[in-house]
Amino acid sequence: MYPIIDKKATGNRIKRIMDCKNISVKELKDYLGLSCVQSIYHWLDGTCLPTLDNLYAMSQLFGTSIDAMVCGNRRTAMPQMSDARSRRLYAYYERLAG
């Protein structure tokens, strides 16, 4: 099975980042040079995904990577951890990031 992007979770994550950065939908529309806010609302509700160009621009605006915005079913390799505390912390991080 190949990795698939979860549009709904990605939209929720973008919305959460916008809320944390206090960026409104109108401000994002203006930054991206879009003609209307409807496209952004479609991203946020999981109807569709931003283009790669828009993801790239948003990563600059949000100060984060594209990977931090996109959610999917791709499994990340667990780093080798020697102690139980590190493994628990990593598992907690995975739940938050997922």
What distance lies between CA 23 and its chain's CA centroid? 15
Q: How far is CA 97 from CA 10, 39, 71, 87, in A?
A: 11, 25, 9, 15
Question: Are the beta carbons of 81 and 90 closer than 8 angstroms?
Answer: yes
pLDDT at 2: 75
Q: Which residue has the higher pLDDT, 89 or 65?
A: 65
- What pTM was estimated for this model as a whole? 0.73
- pLDDT tens, residue by residue, 15-54: 999 999 999 999 999 999 999 999 999 999 999 999 999 9
pLDDT for res 4: 87
